[in-house]
Amino acid sequence: MNYKITALSAKEIAVKIKSKELSVLRVITSYLEHIEKLNPIVNAISDIRSTEDILSEAKEKDLQLKNGAKIGPLFGIPITIKESFLVKGLKTTNGDPMLRNYIANEDAELVKRLKKSGAIIIGMTNIALFSIDWQSTNFWNGQTNNPFDVSRVAGGSSGGSSVAVASNFSPLSLGADAGGSVRVPAHFCGICGFSTYRKLFI
């Protein structure tokens, strides 16, 4: 194996998992190690699931694959979620100081669909105060830094999600865009961001 797992695209990972060239556990372990090493520098991920829970889910998916279960298009793919979407058990602030300690007790519809497609939610990504700034800084999680130059901002308000992808913390990340909140940080971080107001079906 002469490639770095965290540098693979979501499609490449999905193909390698389906063919059993890579186990879901190995994929997830690689990402968790990478996040632990680099997130303190860029501050993209603001809340993360417990390692035990994530690894347990990865092992369960490997077992499903071994037993021939039908798998979805994002089976085993690690994904990060902007803090404006509810993810059960994780902080969902939407950039609001009044919600900085709020733990969601249910999943947003898009998160449910991601899970149904087989994705593994890693954690939440940092956002701008009130989700209305072209950088991703707030008083309780601090500033998300540009991975190519940490003295510069990452854009916003989905800066944490853009940095998560640009830093190879997850090959995909869910953001939200009303006036450039996905497109601006994607541009700042040199990645591709999609924004749509149509219904998303996965």
Instruction: Give the domain CATH number at 161.
Output: 3.90.1300.10
196 found inside a domain: no
152 found inside a domain: yes
Kindly provide the residue ranges of all beta strands, DSSP E only, lying in 7-143, ordered along the sequence.
Answer: 45-48, 78-82, 120-125, 137-138, 142-143
142 token code pair: 């601090």
Per-residue pLDDT at 196 = 62
181 is catalytic: yes
At position 178, the amino acid (one-letter code) is: A
| Per-residue model confidence as pLDDT tens for the chain (202 residues) | 668 999 999 999 999 999 999 999 999 999 999 999 999 999 999 999 999 999 999 999 999 999 999 999 999 999 999 999 999 999 999 999 999 999 999 999 999 999 999 999 999 999 999 999 999 999 999 999 999 999 999 999 999 999 999 999 999 999 998 888 999 999 999 999 987 654 444 3
136 is catalytic: no
20 is catalytic: no
Catalytic residue among 23, 30, 46, 181: 181
Catalytic residue among 46, 84, 157, 167: 157
Q: List the domain range (segments joined by +) for residue 80.
A: 5-189
Per-residue pLDDT at 197 = 53
Q: Alpha carbon 83 to chain centroid distance?
A: 10
197 found inside a domain: no
Summarised one tens digit per residue, pLDDT across range 145-163 is: 999 999 999 999 999 999 9
Catalytic residue among 82, 136, 161, 173: 82
Q: Kindly list the distances between the CA atom of residue 61 and the CA atoms of 56, 91, 150, in Å, as whole numbers in the listed order.
A: 9, 25, 36
140 found inside a domain: yes
Q: Which helix (H) or strand (E) holds 174?
A: strand 172-174
Round to whole Å and give the CA distance between 172 and 81. 9
Per-residue pLDDT at 1 = 61
CA-closest candidate to residue 127, choices 153, 89, 166 = 153
89 found inside a domain: yes
131 found inside a domain: yes
52 found inside a domain: yes
199 found inside a domain: no
What total of structural domains would you count in the chain? 1
